[in-house]
Amino acid sequence: MSVRNDKFHSQLILSLTLWTLLPLLFNQNFYWWGPLVLATLSLFLYAGMRINAFLKIIIAVFMLSSSVFILNLLYPATEQSHHQILDLALNNFIRLFFLTLISVSASTVIDLEQLILSWASSKKGRASWQGKVRVAYVLLAAINAMTQLREESERILIVMRFRGISRFKRFYMLFPLLVYAIKYSQRVALALIARGIDEDKSFFFNYIPIKDEQIAIRRINYFLLFYSLGWFVCPNTLLAGTINLCQY
Amino acid sequence: MIEKCSGNTLKEEFEDVFDDVLIDIGPLSVYYPPGCINRQVSEQSRKKKILRNNYLIKRNQLVLVRGASGSGKSTLLSLIKGIIPDSIFAVIEGRFQFVEPSANVFCVFQNPYSQLVCPTVKEDLVFTMENRGFSQRKMAERLTQFSNFFNLFHLLENKTSKISGGECQKIVLASSLAADPTVLLLDEPTAFLDKDARDEFYAYLAKLKGKYTIIIVDHHQEQILSLADQVIDLDVGIDIDLGKKREHTLVSENWGMIRGAIQENYCICIDKLSFSYAKDAKTQSNFCLKDLNLNIESGKIVTILGQNGSGKSTLLKLISGVLRPTAGNIVIKQGCHPLAPKEYCRHICYLMQNPESHFLFDSIAEEIEFNYRKRGDRSGNISEIFGYYFNVDIDVDVDLSRSPLLLSEGEKRRLTFLMAVLEEKGIMLYDEPTFGQDDASCKKIVTLMKKLREHNRLQIIITHDEKMAYSISDIVYRLCQGRLIDEC
């Protein structure tokens, strides 16, 4: 039985994101990674990223990248010409902009819970590593805890206001919040024990990607591996790296 | 570590008579040795006797565990589940034998929010069944059966992080029952449920009776006593080292503590109040509160009843100024002068549902002292103040240097009550004030509220406890589909 109706499995989106980030990190040639970035962003939009959210991310990322661009212009290496400085600053700006844009956009379409559950339910490694299911559910509880922590921090702020603690001292809310986080983790751990968590548990829903997605993920992962090795052998260009690897 | 104080257990002595005995418990005391949990406990290092008599719990019995809050009911359930001493280290002295250690024991704890681990409601409902390795078909059948019974169908696709406390409790209960447990331990399962859901739960419990071994801690004894096959009475917190009975001192009947009446009259006027959590709500169908009108004056107790998720807590947040109305007005007057919303917190005391959120300091003494000295005209040693107000020798009965978070749930609630009283504000808002309280503590809280009414306080209570509501309130309203209905 399937639990989610997403267009793509989060594992596939994660692999695609890494596939896009890698050339961005290692290659300066815009013509190589530009189309890849655009294709990935279109895929994110198709996978359900909202236009409004996308525009907000663009603005935030632009501001961050601009600050790096200005810093590069203000504090250049001493022996560089003006032309070189501008070139370098622009290059860094563009790469940082797209790097951050892809990463943040991916976080809006990747379902972390789906990723964790697909990892937990896959039979690979379950026999050799006995703590896999426990670790997965603790991670899920940690994701759930974010909402709880936000609500608790709101409650603590209300209490501080009503108890007459001045705004300047509200920084101290961090301590009760920390205590709450510890208490919460203890309660969740006990709840997992109380509800009989078991490493050999079955899964009612199917979290594992469908067969086509699995093939795609495998191919992307092979490509990532070859690309990384190629860059390691000959870091100048992606193509040279891949050719080198093939020759090797 | 379990030490048996007598040679043979009752089960061993009467093997042929007690064939269907599942748990054999005798006089029992729990001791947290130095170094475990935290320093404050280790310094205290008291042995707490939780049971005096022998009890045999037979298969498929429904057993009620009762005792004052803080007497060790939750500790006993943790012991049966094996959490103590496996996960929380403690030395247990006395007789305890679980005849079938491999039995499926599931436990539903008091605090519902931290028991859900899966992202969606339907995943959480099958979680316990998955742990038992049920087949897909069986899980599908039981998912339908139990979501139907607990009326959870409309929630199945919801995120678990976005549901109310009562709904959380229902989900954990349904999930545990669906997994076909041998022993089901329920620690105040109805604490967050409204009256209808509670009645439904007891009706279901009656159906389950005889099918499973159920050990339940519940303060609604009128309903549960008729169902129980056996009642386990816990000692009222006997400290062995001191050999002295510990009484509930956090809310005492020494009402000399309330220093005089509030002179100013307060008035809350609510006029056509509507509220929606959706920012772009335009139609009335999106509103959780619709066209509410209410006038309350000092010296009155007003209680608001309603089902889980009906908007009761939202109404309190609106009155306290935490939320702003979408439409309509809330005016709070001190005498003839309306207060600005930013002044509300100086005149209102707001007791939220979760008592732990109220604690900001390391010890009970600091919590009390902060609220006590805030008025500026007070001096004296906090031990003396506490002793004076509660007429007890605090060195013996209450360790004020202890963290408030180490108190039991009921004690935490009573401590927040005391803190609120010491602030001496004119308006008091309570969200579930008697949650987790035994009958004796409930009576004390009710007495305190009555005294506060005599001292001209304006009090608004939100509760599921209808008995308490009708016993002390001047006006009782029921919040139903966003509207207030006058009950009396």
Are A187 and B360 inside 8 Å of each other by CB?
Answer: no
B226 in reach of chain A (CB within 8 A) = no
> In the β-sheet with B327-334, what is the strand arrangement from edge to edge?
B289-297, B266-275, B327-334, B337-338
The span from the CA of A227 to the CA of A234, in Å, is 10
What is the nearest CA distance from B488 to chain A, expressed in angstroms? 32
| Facing residue for A156 by CB, picked from B111, B320, B357 | B357
Please tell me which of A157-161, A238-242, B282-286 the model is most confident about, judged by mean pLDDT. A157-161
Give me the phi and psi of A136, to 5 degrees please. -60, -45
Are B128 and A180 inside 8 Å of each other by CB?
Answer: no
B143 in reach of chain A (CB within 8 A) = yes
In 3D, which of A91, A62, A195 has the Cα closest to residue B130? Answer: A195
Q: Cβ contacts of residue A58 below 8 Å, gap of 6+?
A: A101
B219 in reach of chain A (CB within 8 A) = no
The span from the CA of B449 to the CA of B471, in Å, is 11
Contact present, B252 and B389 (Cβ < 8 Å): yes
C-alpha torsion sign, points B151, B178, B464, B353:
negative
Are B357 and A159 inside 8 Å of each other by CB?
Answer: yes
pLDDT greater than 50 at residue A171: yes
| Beta bridge partners of residue A51, listed in sequence order | none
Task: Decide the pairing of beta strands B91-98 and B458-462.
Answer: unpaired
Residue A125 carries which side chain, given as an amino acid letter? Answer: G
Are B374 and A187 inside 8 Å of each other by CB?
Answer: no
The span from the CA of B159 to the CA of A56, in Å, is 25
C-alpha torsion sign, points B343, B344, B349, B352:
negative
The span from the CA of A238 to the CA of A31, in Å, is 12
Are A172 and B360 inside 8 Å of each other by CB?
Answer: yes
A with B: how many residue pairs have Cβ under 8 Å apart?
Answer: 136
Quick one: pLDDT at residue A220?
A: 80
| Facing residue for A202 by CB, picked from B130, B358, B423 | B130
Query: Which residues in chain B have Cβ-Cβ distances shorter than 8 Å to A200?
Result: 133
B221 in reach of chain A (CB within 8 A) = no
| pLDDT tens profile A46-72 | 888 889 999 999 999 999 999 999 998
| pLDDT tens profile B134-166 | 898 999 999 998 888 888 888 888 888 778 777
The total number of residues written for chain A in this structure: 248
| pLDDT tens profile B11-22 | 555 555 556 778
Give me the phi and psi of A56, to 5 degrees please. -65, -40
Query: Which residues in chain A have Cβ-Cβ distances shorter than 8 Å to B75?
Result: none
Task: Give the Cα-Cα-Cα angle B263, B269, B273 (nearest 5 degrees).
Answer: 150
3-state secondary structure of A206: strand
Those of residues 39-68 in B touching chain A at CB distance below 8 A are none
Q: Which CATH class is domain B2-245?
A: alpha beta
The span from the CA of B116 to the CA of A116, in Å, is 16
Task: Specify the DSSP class assigned to residue A170.
Answer: G
Query: Which residues in chain A have Cβ-Cβ distances shorter than 8 Å to B128?
Result: 195-196
Give me the phi and psi of B302, to 5 degrees please. -115, 130
B101 in reach of chain A (CB within 8 A) = no
Are A176 and B130 inside 8 Å of each other by CB?
Answer: no
Find the largest Cα–Cα distance for chain B.
78
Task: Give the Cα-Cα-Cα angle A162, A168, A174 (nearest 5 degrees).
Answer: 75
Quick one: pLDDT at residue A3?
A: 44
**Structure-model confidence comparison of residues A103 and B236, the more confident one:** A103
Task: Specify the DSSP class assigned to residue A163.
Answer: T
What is the nearest CA distance from A47 to chain B, expressed in angstroms? 20
**Structure-model confidence comparison of residues A104 and A147, the more confident one:** A104
3-state secondary structure of A77: coil
The span from the CA of B297 to the CA of B267, in Å, is 4
3-state secondary structure chain B: CEECCCCCCHHHHCCCCCCCEEEEEEEEEEECCCCCCCHHHHHHCCEEEEECCCEEEECCCEEEEECCCCCCHHHHHHHHHCHHHHCCCCEEEEEEEECCCCCCEEEECCCCHHHCCCCEHHHHHHHHHHHCCCCHHHHHHHHHHHHHHCCCHHHCCCEHHHCCHHHHHHHHHHHHHHCCCCEEEEECCCCCCCHHHHHHHHHHHHHHECCEEEEEECCCHHHHHCCCCEEEECCCCEECCCCEECCCCCCCCCHHHCCCCCCCCEEEEEEEEEECCCCCCCCHHHCCEEEEEEEEECCCEEEEEECCCCCHHHHHHHHCCCCCCCEEEEEEEECCEECCHHHHHHHEEEECCCHHHHCCCCCHHHHHHHHHHCCCCCCCCHHHHHHHHHCCCHHHHCCCCCCHHHCCHHHHHHHHHHHHHHHCCCEEEEECCCCCCCHHHHHHHHHHHHHHHHCCCEEEEECCCHHHHHHHCCEEEEEECCEEEECC
Calculate the dihedral angle through the C-alpha atoms of A144, A147, A152, A153, rounding to the nearest 10 degrees: 130
Residue A22 carries which side chain, given as an amino acid letter? Answer: L
Contact present, B374 and B423 (Cβ < 8 Å): yes
- Domain boundaries in chain A? 10-110+210-247, 126-194
Quick one: pLDDT at residue B304?
A: 93
Quick one: pLDDT at residue A70?
A: 93
Task: Decide the pairing of beta strands B289-297 and B266-275.
Answer: antiparallel
The span from the CA of A150 to the CA of B324, in Å, is 20
Quick one: pLDDT at residue A97?
A: 93
Contact present, A193 and B87 (Cβ < 8 Å): yes
Q: Residue B147 to residues A57, B47, B214, B291, B368: CA-CA distances in angstroms? A: 40, 43, 21, 33, 44
The pair of three-digit structure tokens given for residue A204, joined into one six-digit string: 């009612």
Q: Which CATH architecture has domain B255-486?
A: 3-Layer(aba) Sandwich (3.40)
| pLDDT tens profile A182-232 | 888 888 888 888 888 888 888 888 888 888 878 888 888 787 777 667 666
What is the nearest CA distance from A205 to chain B, expressed in angstroms? 8
B102 in reach of chain A (CB within 8 A) = no
Quick one: pLDDT at residue B392?
A: 42
Query: Which residues in chain A have Cβ-Cβ distances shorter than 8 Å to B117?
Result: 137, 140-141, 144, 188, 191-192, 195
The total number of residues written for chain B in this structure: 488
| Facing residue for A204 by CB, picked from B126, B352, B357 | B126
| Beta bridge partners of residue B292, listed in sequence order | B273
The pair of three-digit structure tokens given for residue A209, joined into one six-digit string: 């990607």
Query: Which residues in chain B have Cβ-Cβ distances shorter than 8 Å to A189?
Result: 87
What is the nearest CA distance from B135 to chain A, expressed in angstroms? 8
Numbered ranges of CATH 3.40.50.300 in chain B:
2-245, 255-486
Phi-psi region of B291 (alpha: psi -120 to 50; beta: other; left: phi over 0): left
Are B131 and A201 inside 8 Å of each other by CB?
Answer: yes
Print pLDDT tens along chain B (488 aa): 333 344 455 555 555 555 677 888 888 887 766 555 444 444 444 566 677 778 888 888 899 988 876 677 888 888 888 888 777 777 777 888 877 766 688 888 877 777 888 888 999 999 999 988 889 899 999 999 888 888 888 888 888 877 877 788 788 888 988 888 888 888 888 877 777 878 878 887 888 888 888 999 888 877 888 888 888 888 654 443 333 444 444 444 444 445 556 778 899 999 988 888 877 666 666 788 888 888 999 989 999 998 877 888 899 999 999 999 988 889 999 888 899 988 898 899 999 888 888 998 888 888 888 887 776 655 556 666 555 554 444 444 567 787 888 777 777 887 888 788 888 888 999 988 887 777 777 887 888 888 888 888 899 999 888 888 888 999 999 988 888 888 76
Are B111 and A187 inside 8 Å of each other by CB?
Answer: yes
Quick one: pLDDT at residue A56?
A: 95
Residue B436 carries which side chain, given as an amino acid letter? Answer: G
| Facing residue for B405 by CB, picked from A137, A141, A179 | A179
Task: Specify the DSSP class assigned to residue A2.
Answer: B
